[in-house]
A = this chain, B = another copy of it.
Amino acid sequence: MCQSVLVSIDERGAVCVLGTGLIGGSVLRAAVDAGYEAFGYNRSADGAQAARLDGFDVSGDLPEVLSRAAAADALVVLAVPMPAVAPVLAEVAAYAPECALTDVVSVKGPVADAVRKQGLEARYVGGHPMAGTSESGWAATDPELFRGAVWAVGVDEGTRVEPWSRVVRLALDCGSVVVPVVAEEHDQAVARISHLPHVLAEALAAAGAGGGELALGLAAGSFRDGTRVAGTAPDLVRAICEPNAGALELVLDETIEALIAARDALRADGTLGEVVEAGYRGRSAYDSRAQWEITGVLPGADGWLDELRRAGRRGGVLRAL
């Protein structure tokens, strides 16, 4: 079988985005552009008003928004920072417990735990669009933010077809390709390619500034690019990275070890040792990675989740038909 994975949703249905910052607000915009009935909630009145002034249907009244989602059988997209996930999920459980539910939070394990605590797991499928900028808030939103990006979608044990298909369809409609992945493996992977980059960017920015005006005045492309994400608001960096403390710790251990080896080699014989070759191989592997399309999996058929998991591990993606 060589056909694309069928994500058969006849109607696009409604989408309800909770939190209209950079990611959530961009989902709202992209969903509207793709023809969805989409509306949202934002805690800050300023943020909600900014979205309304741009013509979007965003309210600051969470119970009201969730009641509307329940009435419209909307897909609820949780797009708040990790510290706000538990209280917002409590409201979802109270006002829209039957809605399909996904999220766009960086870590998946802690969100899944919070979802289970509210008894919402039957309708939940985790998500994580791998896109962003160092800006935040409604003003930074962009309906094209997810175009060509990768969007991780959960294929954990117990995932049901209907909410899964709706989440995949939304991600594809936003212009992304979908990588199927279970929560634990997702969190280990993003520790390496998203959270570690944040921590190293912070350490590099601090080291550069330690050289004063002369060093910052001489800084060029390698410093600019290497510290770009250190321009992200500190609270947001913490909210992204700290919930993944366990996986991040392990990869920090590994990286500290590699840097100590480089430092010791410099001291011993003036060379950087292994790190340069290993880094070049790593970047080359990244540059030559290929997205291949997963075909022939029928959502809901025996073993479909396992098939998708195995494909995702080997670089497979789901694409729009």
Contacts and interface: CB of A to CB of B under 8 A. Distances in A.
Interface of A: 130-133, 149-150, 152, 179, 181, 185-186, 188-190, 192-194, 196-234, 237-238, 241-242, 245, 248-249, 251-256, 258-260, 262-263, 266-267, 270-272, 275-287, 289, 291, 312-315, 317
Chain A interface mostly helix, strand, loop or mixed?
helix
A204 B279 contact: yes
Most chain B CB atoms below 10 A, which of A199, A233, A289: A199
A227 B279 contact: yes
B314 A213 contact: yes
A159 B101 CA distance: 69
Most chain B CB atoms below 10 A, which of A245, A278, A280: A280
Given A133-B221, A201-B279, A225-B229, 17 more contacts: A149-B220, A189-B211, A193-B216, A196-B207, A199-B272, A201-B283, A203-B258, A204-B282, A206-B281, A207-B258, A209-B283, A213-B313, A217-B289, A227-B286, A233-B280, A245-B267, A255-B259
User: How many copies of the chain does the oligomer comprise?
Assistant: 2
A202 B181 CA distance: 27
B205 A282 contact: yes
Nearest to A215: B189
A218 B276 contact: no
A277 B203 CA distance: 10
Contact of A238 (B228, B242, B272): B272
A281 B186 CA distance: 30
Contacts of A227: 279, 282-283, 286
